[in-house]
Chain A
Amino acid sequence: MNARLKNSKGDIIFVIMNTMFLIIVTIIVLYPLIFVLSASFSDPMMVMTGKVRFFPKEPTLQAYKIVFRNEDILTGYKNTFLYTITGTLVNLIMTIAGAYPLSRKDFYGRNVLTLFFTITMFFSGGLIPTYLVIRQLGLYNNFWVMILPGAVSVWNMFIMRAFFQNSIPVELEEAAFIDGCNNIGILFKIVLPLSVPIIAVMVMYYGVGHWNAYFTALIYLKDRRKFPLQLILREILLQNQMAEMTGGETLVSQQLFAESIKYAVIVVASVPVLLLYPFLQKYFVKGVMVGAIKG
């Protein structure tokens, strides 16, 4: 292979151009992230006057001190943790409960049920009818509105089913059955221990979804004490957006406050997810592939 590369001038030029292009793309993706990180550790005045380019200017932890003293942010953080943990747990239980029976060839009714689930991928009641149903269920401004309406994703359930079908040897299940194990026993003793990769993928997909969600909270939560972090973030990052863009002046102190903590807030809200995902990377690539083969 190497000898061949050396033989062709065109190939060498191609490899160099290709590598350079990828490096440029990577820098374009990375730069805004680094900028945010640097700005969050810089003196607010330096950020406001546009002095921060790459590295932090006049490093300080001031912004983080303000962030971690802010009542709203702390409550939002706590709520988001609760929603994410409870929500992901419910998601996992429901997804497995749906996927496992569907993965069994001797489960009568699986075709009808698959159709029953698939229909919801193409048809939905839409925003307003869903809203009316949720109000009628008494979920409006209720903790569980952040958990229940999105309890299962059909797509994820089908990915999980595909994994159960393709990666767990049927012989193992049959052997356990002959040993007198019932279905639930097989699920817990054999299937789930062999499904760690797909469970990791699901935790990732669902968890990130909960962590980043704001729409459900925006339409169904009224009580500020129940707001997740993303809604608080929206207020801080985007509330004086108009004044910012039109060049109009809000109260100077207020603007300085918002300006100085913007980047720190972004970092605080994104770090948990960004730290977690590289560890799960090898799993979620697998997850996308299972989905791709299936779809």
Chain B
Amino acid sequence: MAEVSLDNKIKKQKKSTKVKKAAIRRNWDLYVLITPVVIYFLIFKYWPMYGVQIAFKDFIANKGIWGSPWRGFKHFRRFFRSYHFWPLIRNTVGISVYQLAVGFPIPIIFALMLNEVKNEKFKKSVQTITYAPHFLSTVVLVGMMTAMLSPKNGIVNEFIKLLGKEPIYFMAEANWFKTVYVWSGIWQNTGWNSIIYMAALAGIDPQLYEAAIVDGASKWQRMWNITIPGILPTAITLLILNTGRIMNVGFEKVFLMQNGLNLTSSEVISTYVYKAGLIGAEYSFSAAVGLFNSIINFILLITVNKISRKTTETSLW
């Protein structure tokens, strides 16, 4: 019995290799098609990954990545001991957590409210308008913020002055940095980030609502028992993804908002890597800082995914 089935298995395998070979021969042009894409990933993604080893070396330009001498954890130790370390962690995590605490629930609430609107025209107009800021560039956004928040002639401070209060130097005060950063992001992205929840809401079976109405469920009961469970998987997936990016405060916006006066709360890991690495040319040291950052992110992602899989049965993998 066992021998027969083994025999069959081998036959099957032979057959499947034949089919496989035929398919590969027939689809040779698909392999040609995908080759440039593979080459792109090798050069621009995998080669830099190979280059990460300079974090454990002293990079010397004319010796190249491979030829530079190994230095173990020297650069990591230097980073952990430097007086920049804790402020950088505090700023990076602080901005991210603030961002997550505000930026995660608001698009959900917005989508839930929009979903209650029955007038299609009104709904469409609100959507078109609230998506618009997403398309502004970071440079334009920060430029608008600087102009509108200026203590001298900015429109926001004009209103504050109108109320008889002292103008606030929003962009220059370290204490205001996080708030300005996070809420300008809310202004720019709430509409856009709500799209995915609108899609999830549209996917809920309307029969569930009809049945609930027949059973006499109130609006709140329907929301709590049908709508919220309906978008929960989407929300959790996004929460996991966002948590995995906690240490990734976007360079672009922070860098543009940064100035000498708010540096104590605006210096984050990505801007520090840029300054130490590209301005200061300390390639190995800042590669080490960058690697440390990626590792923390990855650990966070795995941890949150695990917790989520255990508690809610939703996970990325």
Interface positions of A (Cβ within 8 A of B): 4, 10-11, 14-15, 18-19, 21-22, 25-26, 28-30, 32-33, 35-36, 47-50, 52-53, 94, 97-98, 100-102, 104, 106-109, 113, 116-117, 120, 122-133, 137, 148-149, 151-152, 157, 182-184, 187, 208, 211-215, 219, 230, 233-234, 236-238, 241-242, 244-247, 262-263, 265-266, 269-270, 273-274, 277-278, 281, 285, 288-289, 292, 295
Q: Is B47 an interface residue (CB 8 A)?
A: yes
Partner of B33, one of A29, A100, A123, A212: A100
A291: nearest residue on chain B (CB-CB)?
B196
- Which chain A positions have C-beta within 8 A of B103? none
Q: Are B259 and A97 in contact (CB under 8 A)?
A: no
What residue in chain A is nearest B169 (Cβ atoms)? A245
Tell me whether B36 is interfacial, beta carbon within 8 Å. yes
* Inter-subunit contact A98/B34 (CB<8 Å): yes
CB distance B33 to A184 under 8 Å? yes
Contacting chain A: which of B3-11, B89-97, B148-156? B148-156
CB < 8 Å neighbour of B37 from A98, A133, A266: A98
Q: Is the CB of A126 within 8 A of B48?
A: yes
**Size range of the interface on B?**
35 or more
Given B48, B146, B187, B274, which contacts A244 in the complex, CB threshold below 8 Å? Answer: B146
Q: Assuming the A-B contacts A48-B153, A246-B172, are A25 and B27 also in contact, with contact meaning beta carbons closer than 8 angstroms in the complex?
A: no
Chain B contacts of A292 at CB under 8 A? 196, 199-200, 234
A257 to B298, CA, bound (A): 48
Q: How far is the CB of A127 from chain B (nearest CB, A)?
A: 6
Closest-CB distance, B130 to chain A (whole angstroms): 5
CA–CA, A60 to B140, complex, Å? Answer: 22
Q: List 14 A-B contacts (CB under 8 A).
A: A32-B187, A53-B155, A100-B33, A117-B41, A122-B301, A128-B277, A128-B290, A132-B283, A133-B43, A152-B40, A245-B172, A247-B152, A285-B198, A292-B234
Whether the Cβ atoms of B259 and A149 lie closer than 8 Å is no
Q: Are B261 and A245 in contact (CB under 8 A)?
A: yes
Q: Are A214 and B23 in contact (CB under 8 A)?
A: no
Using CB atoms and an 8 Å cutoff, list the residues of chain B in contact with chain A.
20, 23-24, 26-27, 29-31, 33-34, 36-38, 40-41, 43-52, 54, 59, 65, 110, 113-114, 116-117, 122, 125-133, 135-140, 142-144, 146-148, 150-155, 158, 169, 171-172, 187, 190-191, 195-196, 198-200, 213, 218-219, 234, 237, 251-252, 256, 259-261, 270, 273-274, 277-278, 283, 286-287, 290-291, 293-294, 298, 301
Q: Specify which chain B residues have a CB less than 8 angstroms from the CB of A278 in the assembled complex.
A: 128
A157 and B34 alpha carbons, distance in the complex (Å): 12
Contact present for A127 and B36 (CB under 8 Å): no
- CB pair B133–A29 under 8 Å, yes or no, is yes
Contact A274 B132 (CB under 8 A): yes
Do residues B33 and A233 form an inter-chain contact, with CB atoms below 8 A? Answer: no
Q: Report how far A244 CA is from B274 CA in the complex, Å.
A: 26
Q: Are A129 and B48 in contact (CB under 8 A)?
A: yes
B277 touches which one: A131, A269, A295 (CB < 8 A)?
A131
Chain B interface mostly: helix
Give Cα A132 to B136, complex, Å.
30
Q: Residues of B contacting A108 with CB < 8 Å?
A: 20, 23-24, 27
Instruction: Assess A184 versus B261: contact at CB under 8 Å? Given A26-B126, A133-B48, A214-B137.
Output: no
Residue of A nearest to B145 (CB): A32
The one of B114, B150, B261, B294 in contact with A126, judged by C-beta atoms closer than 8 angstroms, is B294
Chain A residues within an 8 Å CB radius of B283: 128, 132
State whether A127 touches B273 (Cβ < 8 A): yes
Given contacts A269-B137, A270-B137, contact A241 B146 (CB under 8 A): yes
Task: Please state if B199 and A285 are interface contacts (CB–CB under 8 Å).
Answer: yes
* A124-B49 in contact (CB<8A): yes
Residue of A nearest to B284 (CB): A128
Q: Which residues of B contact A122 (CB under 8 A)?
A: 298, 301
Residue pair B34, A29 in contact (C-beta under 8 Å): no
Contact present for A137 and B200 (CB under 8 Å) = no
Shortest Cβ-Cβ A-B pairs, 4 listed: A125-B48, A237-B143, A129-B51, A212-B137
B139: contacting residue among A106, A127, A233, CB under 8 A: A233
Point out the residues of chain B lying under 8 angstroms from A15, CB to CB: 116
Whether the pair A151, B44 counts as a contact (CB closer than 8 A) is yes
Bound state CA distance, A4 and B216, in angstroms? 11
Q: With contacts A14-B219, A149-B44, A151-B40 known, what are 7 further pairs, Cβ within 8 A?
A: A14-B116, A15-B116, A50-B153, A124-B45, A125-B45, A270-B137, A273-B136
Given contacts A53-B155, A104-B30, contact A29 B199 (CB under 8 A): no
The complex places the Cα of A98 from the Cα of B40 at a distance, in Å, of 11
